[in-house]
Structure formats: structure tokens, C-alpha cells
Amino acid sequence: MIRSLLVANRAEIARRIVRTCRDLGIATVAVHSDADAGAPHAREADTAVRLPGDAPADTYLRGDLLVKAALAAGADAVHPGYGFLSEHADFARAVRDAGLVWVGPPPEAMEAMASKTRAKEIMRKAGVPLLDAIDPAEATADDLPLLVKAAAGGGGRGMRVVRELDALPAELDSARAEAAAAFGDGEIFVEPYMEGARHVEVQVFADTHGTVWTLGTRDCSLQRRHQKVIEEAPAPGLDEELRRTLAESAANAARAIGYEGAGTVEFLVSSAGRAYFLEMNTRLQVEHPVTEEIYGLDLVALQLRIAEGEPLDAEPPAPRGHAVEARLYAEDPARDWRPQTGIMHRLDIPGLRVDSGPADGDAIGVHYDPMLAKVIVVAPTRAEAVRRLAHGLERARIHGPVTNRELLVRALRHPEFAAARMDTGFLERHLAELTAAAFDDDGAASPAELAALAAALADAARRPGTATVAGRLGGWRNVPSQPQSRSYRAEPGGTEHEVRYRLTREGLHAEDMPDVRVLGAAAESVVLDVAGVRRTFEVTAHGDRRYVDTPRAALCSPRCPASPTPPPVPNRARCWRPCRARWSGSPRWRSGTGSRPDSPCCGWRP
């Protein structure tokens, strides 16, 4: 029986494992770098051990420090999560040699699948369908396009698509260098690149008594830079014969290497409906929650029970419904997927399953993967699950760095995705339209412009020193006056939006937005009539940033510092105020009875 478990990981997966251990009555030990000293996974575990340093190479990738931490904290087992050392056979051996339980497959099985070239040889002998490798020296134009791949590792590193034969030597060198830097292994290979293929995988589980489960399929075709963004289970649009082929091939792959625990066998499925072995991940996958949701299982709990020697049932439970997962990243898709940093002030996605790394108030730094959370929905049908996920993401309150939330919503609602016609090139093909500036479907102001107006009105209502909203918004005058003006930079996109407004006999009026009427303005809520439709905007201030949310959608996150209202041009002859003070040439009041330096001149003219 496992009584205390060290989680050799961080962020979302570490919190996920801690949650299951708590349900099972297992004590938990977290490890953390200096950058993660206050991270949720370190706070939520029963105990935590510091790994000095910030960089992964000095902390989470130091197997010797992780084993030492487990022993020092009195843990009797280690769970590697995913990423970092989760597929390193030497780390698994070190854990076992220290007398600890390794929650994962045998090191020999991990080694067999660690090299994609060796894995293909084993799969060929096991009768698993696969693509034949191509000798780069003998490649011809008829073989194009080609895919250069690193033999070790994953996550898209060391991977290149080659469409011109002359570019192959340079791409081979580039992929080899990247693979060596990322994985310590510069071995690469070349195979045909399948245009329009889907990425489909099978979840496998094997116990120590010879039972192997295959838990359906997952489609992971929506990828950016060969990294998954949206996943779903079961994979839609596959006929029964293909599903059976995938399940049998995955089970044969697991048996061929004496597998134990959780693993995933990945395939490419061509547009003609033929499956080819891609690789086997000897660990828990990021997208495992979609399988959990349709099978009603806790896959982490299954891993722990198998590690304790418990047998699986003869057959897995039957699946029900459809599940979809979206990965929320702190990145800007419109700017080459550039990672973003800053404080995550608020991450609130009510009504949906959210497996997140940071909590409110946590800093998003530069040292680790930018994934913030996984948002998961299960429903009776695929259409309903996709609709609920898009709606939930749209209404989410995400106050912090720029994220890929808008891209996720648009991708989920894209006609090709709705019809399950996606492939691994979907995001690259549609990136421009998925990141384009949004405009209202009723022809009124754009969402970003409306959000900027709401932020400006809320900022004005937040000004201290004046009792009435009208006073804070500039005051009504019986003659035309200059409008108030503020500028905000919308995120994502970075587009500047200048908004102007004034107070008239009819109330607040937004300049340059004839279809917009201001119905109410307070520091945290602004109500607008947009082309006859009433909309409420919640405005939250965090330092110099303003975040604008509405029940219809989370429109954008205008960024301050906003330009203040420009100082008015003073009437140097006389400022018309009851004290009849005269303009002194500086932005101060001066009268015959003395100066009033605390009262700026408003510059109002008759």
C-alpha cells in the first residue's frame, strides 16, 4: 500500500495528482523550484521540498534531487506526471533502486519506446501498421513532402516539414541540433508527411497480471507547432472497422513491450481512412480527462492501484457521451504564439471542469510551459459538448496575461470543426481568420471598441472627490464642450482604441458611436444600449489594467495606462468660475485674495 507519494512535477498535473491522492487517503509530497515556492501545487500538498534554482535543468530535471527529496520526506512512491522526467527510464530505475514504488511502466518498456526508430521496429514485428522511413540520401521529389523527426522526445521539437528537396540538408541539420539541445539525443529520421491527416490516439492500461485495456479513441488533430490545443473523445467520424484496428494495434503494442500502467499509442489517420503508428507515450497524457469523463474513471487512481499490484477488471466500463478539452495557454496566437507573462489576477470558468496550474494572484513566469489550464466538458452528444465548451470559455473571467481564449472559441465554432473535418493543419490554415479583429454582427461598434468605452466610463466613475456620476464624468454644461477622451490598447492584438464621450441634456453620449447609448456607468459596471440591445459590462481594475467582461462574451482586456483627457487650452484672459480668478500662465488658480495651488484650471469658456 502506498502511504505517501512524491509528485515529481509541478503546476496542473501536480495539483491533479494531489487531488486524487487526497481522495484515496495518500499523503503527498511536492517539490518546487525557487520560482514555484508559492505555487498552488506546493501549497496544496501535505509537505513540500525545495529544489534550489529556477531553470528546469537545475530542478525538475534533476532525478538525483527528486529521489533525495522523496527519501527525505518519507515518501514511499513517486509519480512523474507528464513532461520532465516522466519518460526517462534511468529516473524510473533510480526510483526503484532507492526502494521506492515507481508509478509508471517498467524502465525496459520505456526504453523500448524512447527512440521512435526502435519503436517502429518493434511495432513492425508486432504487426502494427506504420509508415516506412525514407533514407534522406535517396529522397526524390516524388517523396515530397517529407517530415523530419527527432527519434527522442516529443512536443514538436526536432520536427520539420520539408516541401522542397533543396531545403532538406539544412532542415536535417536544424532538427538534429534542436533534438540534441532538447533531449540530449541528436538522432533524427525522415518519413512521408501526410497532408490532411488526423492525429488519433488510443488510451491503454495494463496491470501486472496480463490484462490490457483499450479505452476508446481521442482526436488530437487541432495542434499548433505540433503541440495539441483541442482534444476530444471519442474521435469522431471513424467507422467501426477503423476503431477496431486502432484498438487491436494499441493492445498489441502494449503487449509487445510488456507494458504496465497508463500509456497512449498514437496514430496518424489518412484522409483515406488508413491508420499508421506514430509513437507510444509511456506516461499519462495531458488530455487524459476526456477519457476519464466518458468512461467515468479516475485514471490517476488507476495508475496508483496498478502500482500497488491490484488487477484490472476483465473488461473496462462502457463509454457514455462525448468529451472535449481545450488547453488555455498564456500566449498570443496573433503574434507567432509568443508566450506571455504577468500576474494571473483571476481565472474563473464556472460550470465546467477546470484543471489549472496557477491560482488567482499567481505569477506566470518565463521558466516553464505557458499552459494555464485545461477546460473540459462532457455531454450526451459532440455538438452539445462543443457548444458548452465554447460558451463557457466565452463567458470566462480571465484577468491576467494575454491568452489563446478567443482562438479556442472561434476554432470550436468553425464550420470545419463542427463538421469534424479537422486535420493537423487546421490551425495553420485558418490562423488569420481565427485571430482577426472581431466586429459586431449587428454592424455596431466592434467588441474591442465597446470594451474600451466601458473601461473609460468605469474609470471616470471611479474618480474620487466628486459625489455624482455626472460630476466625475465631466459635468453637464449649457453650451457645447470638448468631449472627454481616453485611449486603451486592446489585448490580444495591441490595437489602440480612443474613446470619447460627453454629458448632454439627454445623458451620457459616446462620440463616434451613433448606435451606442450609455444607460448607466459605475466603477465596476457599465450598461450600454448597442443598436437597441442592452448589454452589461463588468469592469475590473488590477493596477494599470482594465478587464471587461459581459454576459454575451468576454470581449477583450483593454490595457492601461490610458491617455488622460488632454489638458484644455486655457482662456488666458479669464477663467469663468465664481471666484473670478485669472489665468496666471501656469495650471494653477490665482486670485486677488491669494493663490489656490490645489485647484487646476478647467479652461472652460463661455
pLDDT at 504: 74
Is 575's pLDDT higher than 50?
Answer: no
Across 411-435, average pLDDT = 95
- The 3-state DSSP class for residue 571 equals coil
C-alpha neighbours within 13 Å on the C-beta side of residue 489: 11
Q: Give CA–CA dist 451/488, Å, rounded.
A: 9
Burial state string for 62-72 with b = 16 or more CB within 10 A and e = fewer than 16? bbebbbebbee
The position carrying cell 488526423 is 198
The pLDDT-based confidence of 583 (bands split at 50, 70, 90) is: very low
Q: What is the pLDDT of residues 439-467, one digit of tens each?
A: 655 556 788 888 889 998 998 888 765 54
Total Cβ atoms within 10 A of residue 409: 22
Amino acid letter at 364? Answer: I
pLDDT at 563: 46
Q: What is the DSSP string of 455-515?
A: HHHHHHHH-TT-SSHHHHTT---SS--PPEEEEEE-TTT--EEEEEEEEETTEEEETT-TT
- Torsion-angle region of 155 (φ positive above 0: left; ψ -120 to 50: alpha; else: beta): left
pLDDT at 263: 98
The pLDDT-based confidence of 492 (bands split at 50, 70, 90) is: confident
User: Which among 35-39, 552-556, 597-601 has the top mean pLDDT?
Assistant: 35-39
C-alpha neighbours within 13 Å on the C-beta side of residue 253: 37
Q: What is the pLDDT of residues 304-341, one digit of tens each?
A: 999 999 999 999 999 999 999 999 999 999 999 999 99
pLDDT greater at residue 57 or residue 483? 57
The pLDDT-based confidence of 555 (bands split at 50, 70, 90) is: low
Domains for the chain: give ranges and CATH numbers: 4-103 (3.40.50.20), 124-131+197-320 (3.30.470.20), 133-192 (3.30.1490.20), 321-436 (3.30.470.20), 447-549 (no CATH)
Across 524-537, average pLDDT = 92
Is 587's pLDDT higher than 60?
Answer: no
Is 569's pLDDT higher than 50?
Answer: no
Which residues does 86 contact at the CB level (< 8 Å), separation at least 6? 8, 9, 80, 104, 283, 284
Q: What is the pLDDT of residues 37-75, one digit of tens each?
A: 999 999 999 999 999 999 999 999 999 999 999 999 999
Residues forming a β-bridge with 399? 346
- The 3-state DSSP class for residue 78 equals strand
Q: Give CA–CA dist 45/27, Å, rounded.
A: 8
pLDDT at 470: 56
pLDDT at 152: 79
The pLDDT-based confidence of 475 (bands split at 50, 70, 90) is: low
Nearest alpha-carbon partner for 490 in 454, 433, 522, 451 = 451
- CB-CB contact of 76 with 3 (8 Å): yes
| Average per-residue pLDDT for the chain | 87
**Range of weakest confidence among 1-15, 369-383, 591-605:** 591-605
- Torsion-angle region of 597 (φ positive above 0: left; ψ -120 to 50: alpha; else: beta): alpha
Q: Give CA–CA dist 66/78, Å, rounded.
A: 9
Across 484-494, average pLDDT = 82
Q: Is 283 a catalytic residue?
A: yes
Among candidate residues 15, 283, 502, 535, the one labeled active-site is: 283
Total Cβ atoms within 10 A of residue 563: 12
pLDDT at 602: 47
Q: What is the pLDDT of residues 199-220, one digit of tens each?
A: 999 999 999 999 999 999 999 9
Amino acid letter at 152? Answer: A
Which residues does 536 contact at the CB level (< 8 Å), separation at least 6? 525, 526, 527, 550, 551
* Cell reading at 600: 487646476
Q: What is the pLDDT of residues 109-123, one digit of tens each?
A: 999 998 888 898 999
* Cell reading at 424: 493537423
CA distance to 314, 454, 455, 602, per residue, from 509 (Å): 70, 12, 15, 20
Is 579's pLDDT higher than 50?
Answer: no
Instruction: Give the ranges where 238-314 is alpha helix by DSSP (H).
Output: 240-256, 288-295, 299-307
| H helix and E strand count, the chain | 16, 32
pLDDT at 545: 87
Is 557's pLDDT higher than 80?
Answer: no
pLDDT at 197: 94
Residues forming a β-bridge with 375? 326, 354
Nearest alpha-carbon partner for 287 in 260, 320, 264 = 264
